[in-house]
Amino acid sequence: MVPNQFHVFYGTDVTLRGARDADFGNTLTWDEPLLDGYPNTVLNQERGEPLKGFRSLHGLGLSRVFNQYRPKAILQTQYFYEYDFAALLHAWFRRIPVWIRQETQDEAVQRSRSKAFARGLVYRLLYSAVQKGFYIGKLNREHFLRHGIPAHRLIHAPYCTPDRFQNVSTAEFNDIRNACRRKLEIEDDKIVIGFFGKLIHKKNPDLLMQAASFLKDERLKKRVCLLFVGSGVMEAELKAQSAQLAKIGVTCKFTGFVNQSGIRDFYAATDIMVLPSRYAGETWGLVANEALQAGCAVVLSKAVGSSREFGDWKRVRTIPVGSAEALAKAIEELAFFPREFEWARQAMEAYSIRAAAKGLASAIKSSFSAQGLVASDCDSGPTFETVH
């Protein structure tokens, strides 16, 4: 891929400047260099409180952006804000190809037939203007097909996350794991059941508490430690419940909010990662990727989109939404696997940033070749990516 073939336009950089996240219950700023290493422009399209409703990112001034950069195609990541639709319309009027890579799927939320029908009509209308769809997984591909993008215009660009254990040896991993456990005051023989994310109703973190009571093996029950990595509106409630679990020998640890640069060590300390979300919009669940990269066993509810990708893997279990008994059974099955750092690493290559980039690069190459473009042409007219 030639330099500057991509130029990324952000509607806002609010998550880098810092903003209050109501679910986390904190004002937070992501601490990784998200704007380094590639050409990008922050357009500051904010109106009122950023990311709070359709009109909170406007599309004013995009005409100047299109005129200046003359994109050969635009790649969008969703249709949610006024900004997204403005970019779509500008491309449509200029007859610029529109590509889409978004996490939308049709099973993350349970809808009435009438709502599903109306939603389907809207997506069919939107996708009628889309030339290529980059699907992140099986459910996302089914969504595109169901709403009018044919298979020959779909390209796999899997959902991915940076591999925080890349180039980490098994010995180094064990050192990281042991150091984190010592810091958390977790004994070596404990089986750590980890929850990573916002402590909110949608994520259903209290199911871990309920499941602990259903563990049939008393020796296992006394070895279990529930680790909650994150913060949110349910934190006080969960801490109150943890006092009751202590009476049956189950220990609980709460880290509070952990930023991206510090999250790796907690995955290393974890044996089984659980994401028991409800049907409230868990379109993928990137914590599953991160946990598998760290060699954790994983339990996902059926509401988690990535359960369709990972559910049949040897150390992954899928459970019905809200079933504490099923979660307890899954924990009992997975608890006796030895902790092996590298068991999923080869399979996770298919869900790497490199794998996603290959999908995007293949589309650029084929599209530019079909138009008779050479590298210098690509430099003068970059692919335009619009995100918020």
Find the Cα–Cα–Cα–Cα dihedral 273, 277, 282, 284, rounded to 10°.
20
Domain of 219, CATH number, reads: 3.40.50.2000
Whether residue 314 lies inside any domain: the answer is yes
Judge if 193 and 338 occupy the same domain.
yes
pLDDT digits (tens, 9 = 90+) for 224-271: 999 999 999 999 999 999 999 998 889 999 999 998 889 999 999 999
Domain of 63, CATH number, reads: 3.40.50
Whether residue 25 lies inside any domain: the answer is yes
Coil, strand or helix: which one is 98? strand
Name, in order, each residue with C-beta under 8 angstroms of 175's C-beta and a sequence gap of 6 or more. none
Whether residue 27 lies inside any domain: the answer is yes
Provide the strand spans (E) within the chain.
Answer: 6-10, 19-21, 26-28, 40-42, 74-76, 98-100, 132-135, 154-156, 191-196, 224-229, 251-256, 272-275, 297-301, 316-319, 383-387
Whether residue 340 lies inside any domain: the answer is yes
Judge if 155 and 175 occupy the same domain.
no
Judge if 369 and 226 occupy the same domain.
no
Q: What is the pLDDT of residue 385?
A: 56
Q: Report CA-CA distances (Å) from 73 to 5, 165, 378.
A: 11, 34, 10
Judge if 227 and 146 occupy the same domain.
no
316: β partners: 298
Tell me the two tokens of residue 304: 């988690």
pLDDT digits (tens, 9 = 90+) for 310-324: 999 999 999 999 999
Judge if 255 and 358 occupy the same domain.
no
Judge if 67 and 13 occupy the same domain.
yes
Whether residue 130 lies inside any domain: the answer is yes
The reported pTM is 0.91
pLDDT digits (tens, 9 = 90+) for 53-93: 999 999 999 999 999 999 999 999 999 999 999 999 999 99
Whether the per-residue pLDDT at 290 is higher than 90: the answer is yes
Say if CB 109 and CB 101 are below 8 A apart: no
Number of domains making up the chain: 2
Say if CB 246 and CB 310 are below 8 A apart: no
Per-residue confidence band for 387, with pLDDT thresholds at 50, 70 and 90: low
pLDDT digits (tens, 9 = 90+) for 106-143: 999 999 999 999 999 999 999 999 999 999 999 999 99
**CA 101, CA 1: separation in Å to the nearest integer?**
19
Judge if 359 and 314 occupy the same domain.
no
Judge if 332 and 190 occupy the same domain.
yes
Whether residue 1 lies inside any domain: the answer is no
Whether residue 10 lies inside any domain: the answer is yes
Whether residue 165 lies inside any domain: the answer is no
Single-letter amino acid, residue 283: T
Judge if 194 and 282 occupy the same domain.
yes
Judge if 207 and 236 occupy the same domain.
yes
pLDDT digits (tens, 9 = 90+) for 59-69: 999 999 999 99
Judge if 230 and 197 occupy the same domain.
yes
Judge if 76 and 148 occupy the same domain.
yes
Its domain, for residue 93, covers: 6-160+352-387
Q: What is the pLDDT of residue 384?
A: 55
Per-residue confidence band for 386, with pLDDT thresholds at 50, 70 and 90: low
